[in-house]
Amino acid sequence: MLGRSGVLRGMAALALLLAATPALAQMAALPPPVATTPDASALNLTQRGIPAEASAENGVLARERALAAGRRTAWERALSEAGLPPVNLSDQRLEDMVRSIVIEQERTAPTRYTGRITVVFDPNRVRSALGGSVTVPGASPPPVAAGAPASNWIEARAIYRSMGEWLELQRRLRGAPPVASVDIQAIAVDAARLRLGLRAPPPEAAALLAAIGIALEQAGPAWRLGLAGS
């Protein structure tokens, strides 16, 4: 049988359990933490105030090593600021990705280099280093493989001034790599309503179409289409 002290200890433990129950229930009712998705479009490709320091057997080699270290620091900082995971690249690959380096300040010695630099990365090469399928600010649209199925569909109003212009617009559309399908839903003497199947997101497809003389612009919920300059 339990003694008086044992009973008292049991009652105290029960009281603690009852007191903790509401708090435990409240914790269980809390929603799970929301996962954040890294966004390459938030990459700052111009990194300023990057420290560049190194020592070597001579000043020239020290400067080369310092700039290489600065490029890597700038790359790691850019990824970290955008919430992206680290991407380990060779010194040569990093050097190839840099569009320019601006020396903000420097101090040289026979065997040491110390400075601060601004590193500007090339957006297209950054996109390639990150896998080629992400959106990087300033990068040109990625190439679109001809024959790939449509992944985006839009409604577009085609504008033209003559039958010859309409036929030319159709010819260019049907031969354009970002266009998988062209469905004519209605047609008049100066305009037509189309449903386009695109192999790329509409803004990227518009940039690619501009290169072959087709203007595709968003006009409210729909899109406007025509030959460039017409």
> Which domains, and CATH codes, for the chain?
42-129 (3.10.28), 152-227 (3.30.70)
One DSSP character per residue, 23-53 reads HHHHHHHSPPPPPPPP-GGG---EEEEEEEE
* pLDDT tens-digit series, residues 43-89: 899 999 999 999 999 999 999 999 999 999 999 999 999 898 999 99
Torsion over CA of 165, 170, 173 and 176, rounded to 10 degrees? Answer: -100
Q: What integer pLDDT is reported at residue 204 of this predicted model?
A: 83
Q: What integer pLDDT is reported at residue 35 of this predicted model?
A: 38
Q: What integer pLDDT is reported at residue 134 of this predicted model?
A: 66
Instruction: Decide if 175 contacts 167 (C-beta within 8 A).
Output: no
In the sheet with 112-121, reading across from the earlier edge strand, the strands are: 46-55, 112-121, 98-109
* pLDDT tens-digit series, residues 183-224: 999 999 999 999 999 988 888 888 889 888 999 998 877 899
Full-prediction pTM beyond 0.85?
no
Residues 6+ apart with CB under 8 A from 59: 108, 109, 110, 111, 112, 113
* pLDDT tens-digit series, residues 89-104: 999 989 999 999 999 9
**Residue 211 identity:** A
Token pair for 150: 């449509």
* pLDDT tens-digit series, residues 126-181: 888 887 656 787 776 666 666 678 888 999 999 999 999 999 999 999 989 899 99
